Amino acid sequence: MNKRAISDFFPGPGLLGLACAIGATASIAQTQLLDGAAGRLFAAALVLLFYCVFCLVVFIGHRRKQQAFARWESGGTGVDADNVVVAFASQTGFAEQLALQTAQSLQAAGMAVRLCELGRLDLAQLQSAQRILFIVSTTGEGDAPDSAAGFARKVMGQPARFDGLRYGVLALGDRSYGHYCAFGHALDVWLHGHGAQSLFDTIEVDAGDNGALRHWQHHLGVLSGHTDMADWSTPTYERWLLTQRRLLNSGSIGAPAFHLALTPADGRQRMSWQAGDIAEIGPRNAPAKVTALLDALQMDGLQAVRDETRQTSLNELLSRRLLPDDLQALTALRALTPQTLVEQLRPLPHREYSIASLPQDGRLELLVRQTVLSDGSLGLGSGWLTAHLAEGGELDLRVRENRSFHSPASDVPLILIGNGTGLAGLRAHMRARIVGRRKRNWLLFGERSQQHDFFHREEIERWKVQGMLQRLDLAFSRDQSERIYVQDKLRDAGDELRRWVDDGAAIYVCGSLEGMAAGVAQVLHDTLGEEILESMAANGRYRRDVY
């Protein structure tokens, strides 16, 4: 039986047309208005008319879809190195739909994009491209979709090098079937094994999961440099309260980093997540930015307006919308009523943060560093959480399950590697290990200065004293004339690393993709070898939460 990874099944025009025709015939017969041969002839003609109209509608829709894709696909067979290529392999149409949305989002952010079927790419085109985003489903027993079967057999079967290629994979699947996201992972392994560098770790989408798709959009925003991309689907948030905000690195030459503690606004709400899960935050604009827009438009922020579900103030809704920055857009808004204004503006995109605590801690904790933009203003998410939101204030939050970074199921040794605010995800895993009394843990952490940037120092040192950390390696890059990073500490401990891996250790990496994660991956490759590292990744013993 052919197993579909994602089923957005839509019956063909023949089946639906026949259903409509039968329904029409039954309706006519029940009215008992048409009797005899003439009536039956009229009924048959009416059925045929219904069928023809339906087929025409389907044909028009299909033509529009073809025309939309024709506008994206280049006329030639080459791949412009400056373009971002969005390649899809679809069995039921879902991957194709997501590919079009991806291309539209990137183009709206000012990027040059080429959209094409994966099956139309050859080896030469792959080697000439600099950036490709692959959106692929899996069918059968872990096979490529039919349209990409030739690519999997011919192109992926050839020896090749892709040293200049950077890529990302969105793998579509359904956990209720075997071979979950198998083709997406096979594509990732093949590309990486032939020299290509991943822009981010493969994102799995379980049966169209909106949370995973928002995570994909998050990476599109980072790739394009436009992190204000509107979400394709709005998260269903819950109300939480900021109960504590504490500066962690006073005196640091780096941007301020804060420890945040959050609790549900509804005290009866059950807190539920695992180490490795993600907090999706619905941010709000800086109050000064909203006030400036209201002043420019000469509108009253207290005026009542409606969104999709409720009536509230104009000021409140503008705090949750993408606001214009350029004068031309501002001029166009002056002719609008307050209600039309909020309907015209898109909702703010969400922001993602690794959770640094466990539910049994009684609060959801984050580690957030301020992002300072080129104009001196704070980034959307970090500005809201670290500056604009008052302690005790309300925020929108939902927890997104992140199975690809959950703790090992068995009591194996655990090596935790991270830098900066990436400590958040590692801290949650350490707390889970402590709860489970699993003591064979090794933490490698890097930051700028031990005096100013040793986040959660007392807690980490307590873990060491209590025997919950068998080994602790710290890399503070600015504390000596020669810059030392966490990957350097890992390389120096190569013999110990091999012993831990031989004993069945899992390796978890959390933090910045550029620099740290890439450097750690290189050390692991050099120390353990490509075959061992790929086997560990396939078996869930090498996991990353990098950004």
The answer to whether position 229 is within a domain reads no
Asked if 431 and 542 sit in the same domain, the reply is: yes
**What is the Cα–Cα distance from 12 to 150, expressed in whole angstroms?**
25
User: Would you say residue 24 has pLDDT above 60?
Assistant: no
Coil, strand, or helix at residue 499? helix
Give the pLDDT band of residue 71 (cuts 50, 70, 90): very low
Give the pLDDT band of residue 226 (cuts 50, 70, 90): confident
The answer to whether position 233 is within a domain reads no
Last residue in a domain, options 70, 88, 111: 70
The answer to whether position 231 is within a domain reads no
For residue 85, the domain's CATH number is 3.40.50.360
pLDDT in tens, 347-384: 888 899 999 999 999 999 999 999 999 889 999 999 99
**What is the Cα–Cα distance from 546 to 513, expressed in whole angstroms?**
5
CA angle, 179 then 180 then 184, to 5°: 100
The residues pairing with 372 across neighbouring beta strands, listed in sequence order, are: 378
Give the pLDDT band of residue 23 (cuts 50, 70, 90): low
The answer to whether position 232 is within a domain reads no
Asked if 120 and 247 sit in the same domain, the reply is: no
Say what the pLDDT of residue 36 is: 61
Residue 51, CB half-sphere, CA atoms under 13 Å: how many? 15
Pair 155, 126: CB distance under 8 Å: yes
Query: Is 243 or 267 the better-scoring residue by pLDDT?
Result: 243
For residue 468, the domain's CATH number is 3.40.50.80
Last residue in a domain, options 70, 88, 115: 70
Asked if 190 and 314 sit in the same domain, the reply is: no
Asked if 297 and 414 sit in the same domain, the reply is: no
**What is the Cα–Cα distance from 230 to 225, expressed in whole angstroms?**
14
How many structural domains comprise the chain? 4
Asked if 359 and 465 sit in the same domain, the reply is: no
Say what the pLDDT of residue 103 is: 96
Give the number of other CB atoms < 10 A from CB of residue 484.
16
Q: Which of 198, 168, 204, 216 is nearest to 522 (CA)?
A: 198
Both tokens of 227, joined, read 């992190």
Residue with tokens 């925020």: 395
Say what the pLDDT of residue 139 is: 85
Give the number of other CB atoms < 10 A from CB of residue 102.
24
Asked if 311 and 174 sit in the same domain, the reply is: no
Pair 167, 117: CB distance under 8 Å: no
Please state the rounded mean pLDDT for residues 234-258.
Answer: 94
User: Would you say residue 394 has pLDDT above 60?
Assistant: yes
Last residue in a domain, options 70, 95, 116: 70
Contacts of 12 (CB under 8 A, 6+ apart): none
Q: Give residue 361's identity as a one-letter amino acid code.
A: D
User: Would you say residue 299 has pLDDT above 60?
Assistant: yes
Asked if 382 and 249 sit in the same domain, the reply is: yes
- What DSSP string describes 139-156? BTTTBPPGGGHHIIIIIT
Phi (first) and psi of residue 512, to 5 degrees = -75, 135
**What is the Cα–Cα distance from 149 to 428, expressed in whole angstroms?**
41
Domain hosting 57: range is: 13-70
Asked if 242 and 386 sit in the same domain, the reply is: yes
Say what the pLDDT of residue 310 is: 86
CB-based burial label for 348 (10 Å; 0-12, 13-18, 19+): buried
The answer to whether position 192 is within a domain reads yes
Asked if 248 and 324 sit in the same domain, the reply is: yes
Give the number of other CB atoms < 10 A from CB of residue 480.
8
Pair 414, 429: CB distance under 8 Å: yes
Please state the rounded mean pLDDT for residues 101-126.
Answer: 94
Say what the pLDDT of residue 64 is: 47
Asked if 382 and 244 sit in the same domain, the reply is: yes
Asked if 355 and 255 sit in the same domain, the reply is: yes
Both tokens of 107, joined, read 């183009």
Residue with tokens 């609008």: 336
Pair 357, 364: CB distance under 8 Å: yes
Lowest mean pLDDT among 48-62, 217-231, 415-429, 482-496: 48-62
Answer whether 0.85 is exceeded by the pTM: no
Coil, strand, or helix at residue 437? coil
Pair 322, 347: CB distance under 8 Å: yes
For residue 380, the domain's CATH number is 2.40.30.10
Please state the rounded mean pLDDT for residues 191-211.
Answer: 91
Asked if 383 and 440 sit in the same domain, the reply is: no
The answer to whether position 22 is within a domain reads yes
